[in-house]
Structure 1
């Protein structure tokens, strides 16, 4: 499968000892026509549940915490830096996709970086 046929994202996952780590993951994409007369677009399946939320914050600095729900985080504006319990840090900016799956244990920390505000969509998923 070529890179054009993949959507890459980062999963934050709980480890067996209650910590958290980043896992690089991908969703396969396939060309699909939604409406006659419109060219096919690349589509990938992402599970979701009801209740998406839009978040805007001038500052976002957290204590270590697990995700409140297994949820997609779709970065829209600004940037955040997430640190997992093993000390690894990653920065996420507009267009990045994160699956916060560390709903138990130590969790992670999140800080806003760069020019405010930070904006994102939070989309909970069914387990």
Structure 2
């Protein structure tokens, strides 16, 4: 059985801004270890060390991402505003692939109770 895991991309626009793009990772049932039932699995390429982040405040000025990376939300809720004015909220279990490494970037704001926790997974390539 093949399923899809939806995620959001934040990409740089031609005018130096940013916007969201909806995307999916194909999930395929696969046995990952002997004696373990098949699980839905998708590949996500990584280029370097994963960073764990905990912050009591996640409010920012407009900024480009420091590198292309997956942001995997673990705890708390953030709201990201791209330069075209679109806002999306991300909470535990949500995936965002941040690609706007130059230009005006985006704004990140913490929503609700802190702390906010996430994994930052640097990537290469155009999407995953």
Length-normalised TM-score, structure 2: 0.94
Cα deviation per residue 1:66-87 (whole Å; 9 max; x = unaligned)?
0000000000000100000000
> 5+ unaligned residues in a row in structure 1: which ranges?
none
How far apart, in 2, do the equivalents of 1:84 and 1:101 lie? 12
Equivalent in 64, 72, 81 of residue 74 of structure 1: 72
Cα deviation per residue 1:13-69 (whole Å; 9 max; x = unaligned)?
001111100000001111111122211001111111121100000011100000000
Q: Which residue of 1 aligns with 2:95?
A: 97
> 5+ unaligned residues in a row in structure 2: which ranges?
none
Equivalent in 47, 54, 65 of residue 52 of structure 2: 54
Question: Runs of 4+ in structure 1 displaced over 2 angstroms?
Answer: none
SS of corresponding position for 2:92: coil
Q: Which residue of 2 aligns with 1:29?
A: 27
Alignment size in residue pairs: 125
Q: Which residue of 1 aligns with 2:119?
A: 121
SS of corresponding position for 1:29: strand
How far apart, in 1, do the equivalents of 2:59 and 2:35 lie? 47
SS of corresponding position for 1:5: strand
How far apart, in 1, do the equivalents of 2:105 and 2:76 lie? 22
Between 1:31-40 and 1:67-76, the stretch displaced more is 31-40
